[in-house]
Each structure stands twice: as structure tokens, then as C-alpha cells.
Amino acid sequence: MSTNKLKINLLGEAWNIKQMVFSNELLHTFEEVAARMKQPLTDALIDPFFYHYLKNKTIQSIDDLQGNSVEGLINSPKNQIEIWYKNKKIKKLKINDLKEELLLFPLYNTTIQKSNINLENGIYIEQKEIGLIGSFEIHTDNFIIDELEFQLLQTNEQTILEKLVYKNQVLVCKRKDSLITFQNCFEI
């Protein structure tokens, strides 16, 4: 087991849109609770008291709702990527550093997926947050920056750092400390 820790911190603003997926009976229960609260379901789902009135041990907050989501660090002036190895900061980047099209040779291993986010029929929750968006850790004997892949999602509106991959392994978020600045729920 290697003892050297590679840690990558993503700081700044994040965006998340999640399409809700739940059974018909759960949807019926949600609608009943929303009706008791005298709110439309889309307003009730982002109301913290909804989960108290729901009285469901497995669904305590909006984070416990199942769904398909697209999320990541937004390319804004506040974004920052810190790479730490052996408890020393070895690199500090911005998303713009990852997508330099004018360079002869790329500085970083980056894949850019272009996508228009087409929303299908369903209920969606959209959130924006600010702070430590994610701290990713992995133990490795030696760190080679060329084996770190940054996966970006390019939409019409923005560029999002969606995933970090090191040696073909997707890094999992170990810690997050952020504040929600915007929350919206809507139905299509």
C-alpha cells in the first residue's frame, strides 16, 4: 500500500441539474404531502419542511432523492483547481488553463465533450453552490500529471469540469464544504 496521498481540491462555483426518478407510489406520497402543505410539488420539493412532513427514514433531505444529474465546477472567475501531492501544493490551475486551444502541445490531459443539455419530460432540481466543491483523494506511489485527465462538458452557456480521472480511475469526492446560493425546481 502506497503512503503518498494525491489530493485535488475544486474550489469556486458549481452547478447541478438533477432529473428526479421515483416510483409512482412515491410520487403519489409526495403529491399528498405537498397538498397538505398547500404548495405545488415543485415548490414543496425544495422546502426543507417537506422532508419533515414526509416522515420517511430513507429520504431526509433533497440530497436523498434519486435522479440522473449533470454537475460540476463552473468556469467562472472564482474557480480554482489545487493539486496536492505528499502534502505539498504542486499545481494551482483554472479551467481556462485546461482548454488552451492556441497551444501547439496541450499542457494537460483534457477531454472536452460538447453537449446541449436537452431536458426531457420530468421534474428537475437545479442548484448552484459556492465553496469547496469537492476534495478528491487517492493513494499513489508516484504522481504523473500526464496521467491525470480532466473531463470537461461544454454546453452552449458554460464550461463545466465534470470528472477527474487518474490512471483510468474516476476519482471520488471525499469531502465537500459548500453553500447553496440558488435552488429551483421545475417540471417539463
Task: Report if residue 102 sits inside a domain.
Answer: yes
Could you tell me which of 83, 85, 107, 84 has the C-alpha nearest to residue 96?
Answer: 107
Q: How many separate domains does the chain show?
A: 1
Q: Output the pLDDT for position 99.
A: 76
Task: Report if residue 170 sits inside a domain.
Answer: yes
Boundaries of domain holding 84? 5-21+66-187
pLDDT at 121 over 60: yes
Could you tell me which of 105, 107, 94, 122 has the C-alpha nearest to residue 186?
Answer: 122
> pLDDT by residue (tens digit) across 89-118?
999 999 988 877 666 566 778 888 887 777
What value does the mean pLDDT take over residues 72-97?
Answer: 92
> pLDDT by residue (tens digit) across 146-181?
899 999 998 877 889 999 999 988 898 999 999 999
- Return the bridge partners of 164, or none: 150
pTM for the model stands at 0.84
